[in-house]
């Protein structure tokens, strides 16, 4: 049996419950705590057959950073979709949509197709 892995996320908030700090760590070789300005956690609820999600960002995250975060998250989602379903045509459609969105919101220019970089994710 494989050992359990623990991922710890600590969210500090102000008096209005707005996140001020997001700190996370995971067991393993590099278990030091890391700070983050935003997170998007999505889990499939097997019992209810629906998505459960938590999207948080700190009050010091800029709109420009959020634009990059959303586009990179969408590119990563396209990668996850392709790896989990082997449906490359629809994963490419999602990537194409994300590139177009990134151009429209100023994350990348027409000739800057490498600017929307994929997030660092390990294949499953």
Q: Which domain holds residue 19?
A: 1-58
Q: How far is 11 from 23, CA to CA, in rounded Å?
A: 7
91 in the same domain as 54: no
Instruction: With respect to residue 37, please indicate whether it lies within any of the assigned structural domains.
Output: yes
**Confidence band (pLDDT; 50, 70, 90) for 2?**
confident
Q: How far is 113 from 121, CA to CA, in rounded Å?
A: 20
48-86 tens-digit pLDDT: 999 999 999 999 999 999 999 999 999 999 999 999 999
pLDDT of residue 27: 85
97 in the same domain as 71: yes
Instruction: With respect to residue 124, please indicate whether it lies within any of the assigned structural domains.
Output: no
pLDDT of residue 116: 61
Q: Report the domain count for the chain.
A: 2
48 in the same domain as 11: yes
69 in the same domain as 113: yes
13-52 tens-digit pLDDT: 999 999 999 999 998 767 789 999 999 999 999 999 999 9
71 in the same domain as 46: no
pLDDT of residue 96: 96
Burial class (CB in 10 A: 0-12, 13-18, 19+), 91: buried
**Confidence band (pLDDT; 50, 70, 90) for 124?**
very low
Q: How far is 52 from 24, CA to CA, in rounded Å?
A: 20
67 in the same domain as 44: no
Instruction: With respect to residue 48, please indicate whether it lies within any of the assigned structural domains.
Output: yes
From 58, 78, 107, give the residue that closes a domain.
Answer: 58
Read off the pTM.
0.83
52 in the same domain as 66: no
């Amino acid at each position: 049996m494989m050992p359990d892995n623990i991922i710890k996320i600590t969210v500090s908030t102000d008096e209005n419950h707005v996140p001020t700090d997001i700190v996370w760590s995971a067991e393993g070789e590099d278990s030091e705590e890391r700070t983050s300005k935003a997170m998007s956690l999505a889990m499939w609820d097997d019992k209810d057959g629906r998505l459960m999600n938590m999207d948080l960002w700190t009050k010091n995250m800029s709109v420009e950073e959020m634009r990059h975060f959303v586009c990179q998250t969408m590119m990563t989602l396209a990668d996850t979709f392709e790896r989990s379903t082997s449906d490359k045509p629809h994963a490419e459609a999602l990537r194409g949509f994300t590139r177009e969105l990134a151009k429209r919101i100023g994350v990348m220019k027409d000739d800057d197709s490498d600017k929307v970089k994929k997030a660092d994710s390990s294949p499953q």
